[in-house]
Structure 1
């Protein structure tokens, strides 16, 4: 369970890099010399945490912690930073980046989903102006989802940023509160892509995964199907304790946490813990699923700050897992 000490640790980790501009990995296609600019010019809000999407979900993490633990020592600093950063003129700067040429694929779909998750979290604080300020950016990414999903002939079944299922988990949860038409589109496309999937035979993990394609699909369909989910899961994963999905029950080994892509596997362990905990109540042996989640958590939690390649993002996935 998430306690005050753990929340404080996660918050301090992430506050240390939310506005740290260097090093930074841009997601950018250069169309001319005028496109060259420093990260804080291109992205007035999300120029920390090594890359745009990590900064977005770092904000989701600290804002969630501040809401859940208002008496936490870091909460005043988090809220003061939000008052300074989550404002209309900075949001306008982020929107201006989307208006540049050749930005249609910018952060698609991982960053899109996380931006909607951040707005959804901010909306739980109607006493503060942050959600209102960020809403135009959330709407812009919702429009991108609405234009993109009908054209996506096949879902991206990936363990990395291009995963369709993972992004749509966040997008659907946002849309059910903020955009009923988009919610209906996500539900329909998800059922079309995944509804007939049966008898999963995963080959996971791939060497640089931080998501489980198989388990993220199941979590998405849990949200999409509601009361119809149990029979779908029984067909998709008929033997959760059997050999065909043993790879999903075994924590991944990380060989070099200073290598940002190999360090993804710590995130995979946390993402699997989140998925197993989310699915446990719909599985034949919930206790076994939770024990599997705990084993994955134990493999990753001691390493959140071993190197900046993990530190700039892992605490978010730890929070997802612990609060599943």
Structure 2
């Protein structure tokens, strides 16, 4: 069956891109056979990779632990049906009212869970457990569902917040702890609402959204696919895979030189690579990459990191997030294809080294969300399965 799927995908690629007989022969080879000769450019040498240690975890945990109960300032992103729809953030979102906006609160909870799972002896472990239990109570999740079922809330947090909610559910599902399983069950009704929203929306989306901010389609598909794979939701996986192929299979020569835009925290080109790496068989992915971003296989490939001019500006600080999100894509490629893309690990290290020192102790404009991006990136460094 796998061979049949591969043949279908490869011939689909051929029909889209013309006669590629030489590449077809390459695609039948399931080994990562590119030479490992090291041609690292000077700008990528002598960079010490950032390692997520217990010491760093103790620093990073302070950010989400503080912000999940920080109600103001707050950006509700709310469409009002009438004047009665106005309310305090904690009234509207009893679980996810802190951290400036809903999606940041969701992924702050993910950060707490991820740090506690991987560093169980963290100094504030009891405070973290108590905070999670209070936030993700059954009653609070029902309050969140009530908001999502409002008349004007069909598209609320579409699709960035949706994706992080599923990433949160995935983290709870894989947490081997009675508290994790209790909170996973509490979250399930809201998780199912989000899955249903995805399933209803994706078939209606005729064209992907290729921006470097929240509505980027490839990012949402990537996180949703991770969740579906983890929980074994085969039907959801099929929907995501089909839409990813519909959107991206014919893409050629992504204009990486156009990036970044001034407010980007995601790379449109690299997020597309990330989802296609997950949904395509290896041979088909290699063939697709030959047309989409062939420069990434060059051992001397390099790119400048994002530069932030003002970290108190909520939009300009996005570029620190871009450095992290680029890095997690590079780490993903290096982990899965060490011979062909292993050199990208050095480039990922360069991006992390640029922005990691700015995460702890920075202004609230970045502190309420950048910690999550740093944690997610460092969990991908050297171990793609560890979250």
Which TM-score tier does this pair reach, normalised by the shorter chain? over 0.9
Unaligned runs of 5+ in 1: none
Which residue, out of 165, 180, 200, partners 2:254? 200
What secondary structure is seen at the aligned counterpart in 2 of 1:28?
coil
Moved more, 37-46 or 232-241: 232-241
Q: Does 1:251 align with 2:305?
A: yes
Cα distance in 1, alignment partners of residues 204 and 279 from structure 2:
20
Per mean C-alpha deviation after superposition, the further-off stretch among 48-57 and 230-239 is: 230-239
The structural deviation recorded for 1:230 is: 2.1
Mapping of 1:135-214 within 5 angstroms? 135-178=188-231, 179-202=233-256, 203-214=258-269
**Aligned pair partner of 2:376 in 314, 320, 323:** 320
1:2-42 deviations in Å (ceiling 9; x for gaps): 21111111111221111110111001001111011000000
Match of 1:68 in 2: 118
List per-residue Cα deviations over 1:20-77 (Å, max 9, x = no partner): 1011100100111101100000000100011000000011011011011111112211
Matches within 5 A, 1:4-153: 4-125=54-175, 127-128=178-179, 129-153=182-206
Q: CA–CA distance in 2 between the matches of 1:208 and 1:241?
A: 27
Could you tell me how far apart the structure 2 residues matched to 1:239 and 1:296 are?
18
Task: Find the aligned partners of 1:287 and 1:238 in 2 and give their Cα distance.
Answer: 15
DSSP-derived class of the 1:166 partner:
helix
The question of 1:225 aligning with 2:276 is answered: no
Deviation of the 1:258 alpha carbon: 0.4
| Other structure's SS at 2:296 match | coil
State the distance in 2 between where 1:51 and 1:321 align.
21
Scaled by the length of structure 1, the TM-score of the pair is 0.95
The residue aligned with 1:236 is: 292
| Bigger CA radius of gyration | 2
Question: Which of 292, 306, 311 is residue 362 of structure 2 equivalent to?
Answer: 306
Q: 1:54 to 1:32 in 2, by over 3 A?
A: same
Q: CA deviation at 1:282?
A: 3.0
Find out whether 1:273 has 2:327 as its counterpart. Answer: yes
Q: Secondary structure at the match of 1:222?
A: helix
Question: 1:230–1:282: 8 Å Cα contact kept in structure 2?
Answer: no
Using the size of structure 2 for normalisation, the TM-score is: 0.80
Find the aligned partners of 1:125 and 1:282 in 2 and give their Cα distance.
Answer: 28
For residues 56 and 270 of structure 1, the distance between their equivalents in structure 2, rounded to whole angstroms, comes to 18
Q: Which moved more, 1:144-153 or 1:79-88?
A: 79-88
Aligned equivalents of 1:235, 1:135: Cα separation in 2: 40
Distance, in Å, in 2 between the alignment partners of 1:87 and 1:21 is: 18
**Structure 1 vs Structure 2 CA RMSD:** 1.5
Q: Secondary structure of the equivalent of 1:295? A: helix
Structure 2: tracts of 5 or more residues without a match: 1-50, 381-387
Equivalences, count: 320
The 8 Å contact of residues 4 and 69 in structure 1, kept in 2 or not, is answered as yes
CA distances 1:180-209 after superposition (whole Å, capped 9, x unpaired): 211110001101111121222221000001
Return the alpha-carbon distance in structure 1 between the equivalents of residues 202 and 290 of structure 2.
Answer: 27
- Partner secondary structure for residue 96 of structure 1: helix
